[in-house]
Chains A and B, each alone.
With several copies, the nearest count.
Chain A
């Protein structure tokens, strides 16, 4: 069955609410300003109104409420809305949620999921376009899920709400909501923490996550058609846990790595992948690693300026060609 990313999310949320009384929603936006995607949430809103809490614009308090409810035995999903607003909740997400299990010596578990609709969404400008994933990667105790396709939107959300026993940041993307994929809801999912090889290839590894997954796939298509190059596309799916083995195995095969990630270049997700290669995969590298990122510039409003900074399929292609000396 073909579903959109938004449908995958809404369906997972609905199924989890139906299956487990402890699942509850703090906020229920999830779909940003996208009216088509918003429609997918209607069954949830209709069937589970009693388990959805009204939310003032108090992100810190809401995140904390989710943590506290989790600590008290519930399994809350907290809508933190646009990625940039997670900073409002940082004291609770970074310094409470992530630490409680450890500080208690394992006495207390914190199965809360924070939903963050992050990324460069088109004219969101500097204050509404953040990708907080690399920052959150500095926080041991958090799980960070980053679906790159509709089926993983479904699988990963379901896993977070039903199975996870730890605080989880679910990073969604405004420009992925309409992306479609084939879903077999009954098929066992690839374990969380395992990357997905979205396309096999032998000449270069394109390592991607979230919005850069469809772009890397497009780049792989161009590389094959226009340059006769066979690119492997690795979709990380989560950055905590981070599947270093699959990345290393792919690069061991291809000898070349292009890391496509929407974070700012410095201290971003791509830096960690590149560092892993420099530490554990040096011998397999036939060419310097290539990072394709958002430059270290706040996100401008104007479409023309934003486009200049955006990680595109073309830039991924150019990066791949560079690693191949072309």
Chain B
């Protein structure tokens, strides 16, 4: 298990932020077709969770997977190519944004069905337990808790005591309620989301998704417990929705994120300004590191320059990558070898 330094953590978060900005741009330019989901505002969660994982650990993600995969070390070029449906993508254009997976990095299967990945993640954790090595981080959204699949996964994980961190990203919490307070929803009647896994004898926790240090502390502790054989853990990460996520397709309310915003400058849009000030994990983390003297503006700008270059390369790679040969549609329906014909 490694632990990132402050600069590396900013780099990892900014990489996600800038990657998603490129997706939004490419969608507006109609180079990215179809529906897609971005991870803006939740970057600290993926970074804090994935950097604690080893090679034989697994993650299971959803339609909102870009951040999880980047944090796990996926190549932005091959991700972007996949998102554009190109042959250079991880799945040769078959998965697109919805089901991006990178088996070599322990992200073997991504489900775009609400509740779909929980039973899978649980099964991978059962495999880890049987083999005596590895653990699973299962990312899912708050609506996942409305599916029966969620419930059955909780039952099985608790009965089997498998090594899994159920990581519920609750991304529609008002800032004031992020650290404490009841969760209120018109569709899930729980007073607190954690009450449900708790009722099935799973140890739970709530953490502020805009506070990278709190996330690192929480996940470090929980993954250690899980690795020691204590069984599943459930954590609700509370994030506040980024204003650009409200339309049917995400939009950049005020252009790309500015390093200057972390250093006193304000964006034009008031809703964005409020969100940045109180709920942006990236901005808050930079500001904290600057205040404590761990980072200065020029370092942040250098990180940003590196990330921008990476993303430009990713977009170029993706745009240059050819569309797949139509015959590729017929490949990989069944794995070869096991079949005798």
Q: Which residues of A contact B (CB under 8 A)?
A: 24, 33, 35, 51, 53-74, 76, 84-85, 88, 91-92, 95-96, 99-111, 122-128, 140-141, 143, 159, 163-166, 191-194, 241, 295-298, 300-309
B124 CB to nearest A CB, Å: 4
Say whether A304 contacts B128, CB under 8 Å: no
- Across the interface, name the chain B residue whose C-beta is closest to A163: B338
CB-defined contacts of A71 to chain B, threshold 8 Å:
108-109, 120, 123-124
A128-B112, A166-B338 are known contacts. Are A61 and B333 too (CB-CB below 8 A)?
no
Q: Add 6 more A-B contacts to A125-B94, A192-B341 (CB < 8 A).
A: A55-B187, A60-B149, A92-B149, A104-B99, A105-B90, A194-B340
Say whether B113 contacts A84, CB under 8 Å: yes
The DSSP consensus for interface residues of chain B is loop
A54-B160, A241-B339 are known contacts. Are A64 and B118 too (CB-CB below 8 A)?
yes
- Across the interface, name the chain B residue whose C-beta is closest to A105: B91
A249 CB to nearest B CB, Å: 15
B148 close to A (CB within 8 Å): yes
> Could you tell me which residues of chain B, from 316 to 341, have a CB within 8 Å of some CB in chain A?
323-324, 326-341
A92-B119, A104-B108, A302-B94 are known contacts. Are A69 and B124 too (CB-CB below 8 A)?
yes
Say whether B94 contacts A54, CB under 8 Å: no
Q: CA of A308 to CA of B93 in the docked complex: distance in angstroms? A: 13
A37 CB to nearest B CB, Å: 12
A55-B187, A166-B338 are known contacts. Are A301 and B95 too (CB-CB below 8 A)?
yes
CB-defined contacts of B112 to chain A, threshold 8 Å:
125, 127-128
- Across the interface, name the chain B residue whose C-beta is closest to A193: B341
B66 CB to nearest A CB, Å: 14
Say whether B120 contacts A60, CB under 8 Å: no
Q: CA of A208 to CA of B60 in the docked complex: distance in angstroms? A: 40
Say whether A123 contacts B339, CB under 8 Å: no
| Other-chain contact of A101, B124, B328, B335 (Cβ < 8 Å) | B335
Say whether A58 contacts B339, CB under 8 Å: no
- Across the interface, name the chain B residue whose C-beta is closest to A98: B333
A55-B187, A105-B92 are known contacts. Are A297 and B119 too (CB-CB below 8 A)?
no
| Other-chain contact of B146, A57, A101, A122, A300 (Cβ < 8 Å) | A57
Say whether A96 contacts B35, CB under 8 Å: no
